[in-house]
Amino acid sequence: MVILITQSHFILMQYAFSKKIISFNTMKKILFYLVIFSFHLVSCGQSSNNSSNGNDAIANSINADEFEQAIQQPNIQILDVRTAGEFAIGHIKNAMQANYNDESEFTERVKYLDKSKPVYIYCLSGARSNYAMNTLQQMGFTKLYHLVGGINAWRSHNKPLEGMNNEPQISVADYEVLTKKDSMVLVDFGAEWCPPCKKMEPIIQQLLKEKPDLKLLKMDGSSQQTVMQSMNVTALPVFIIYKNGKQVWRKDGEANLPPPLYLL
């Protein structure tokens, strides 16, 4: 529409110039301002805090009070896009973590989120969450909301945060004792904030139901750093099966449980 209006004006100016109604310099000035005005309209039409990709997708920036109220609703997802270290020293309850600055981790973890459900995103100050919101929109997520000002704004409004799990560290020796306690032990290195870990929960529970002699040993990926380092656990989840105290199976990442039947 802007282009059609500009063309119409250009034709009129050509006519006026040919009839000597306006000078050449005046016509140049008019053309210049029309171009600037058209560019301004296009630019304004493409920038907004609340945007849509044309497929009924919603991407909104909301303040701390609005964010707090919104995450009380059922069937929503909360995503912390900071690093695991930042997450450990204070995060919003029920948030899952995926480091936006680590492309591989971010892509791997967000694939476990439900694209049809709202996702409420936050970081430290709001920059990463804004970028993450745009990235998720391009990935097909349809209802996205990011916290303006991030955790800094959340704290300034005295909103509640959950901290690092205070579970005591298990030594490597104690870990070895626990893996020998029963004839068959499934060790689950995971965390509440890890999307693929949560995805695996019902599968693990079904396996335990079918194999009552298989005992589950959960290792918190937020706190058990000593054992994780010893077992070379660098990403979550990790599943290990011990039979009579000896490791017989391991899977890093999402596992297609159950493992081979001969192991059980």
User: Contact at 8 Å (CB) between 90 and 122?
Assistant: no
- Catalytic residue, chosen from 78, 84, 92, 197, is 197
44 included as an active-site residue: no
The token pair that represents 54 in the structure block: 């044309």
The torsion defined by the Cα of 24, 30, 34 and 37, in degrees rounded to 10, comes to 140
Peptide bond into 237 cis (omega under 30): yes
Which amino acid, one-letter code, is at 13? M
Q: How many angstroms separate the CA atoms of 178 and 176, rounded? A: 5
Cβ–Cβ < 8 Å for 125, 148: no
Active site residue 197: yes
Residue in 151, 194, 219, 227 annotated catalytic:
194
Instruction: Give the integer Cα–Cα distance in Å for 181 and 158.
Output: 45
Residue 40 CB burial class (10 angstroms; 0-12, 13-18, ≥19):
exposed
Q: Can you say how many angstroms the Cα of residue 263 is from the centroid of all Cα atoms in its chain? A: 36
Which residue numbers are catalytic?
A: 194, 197
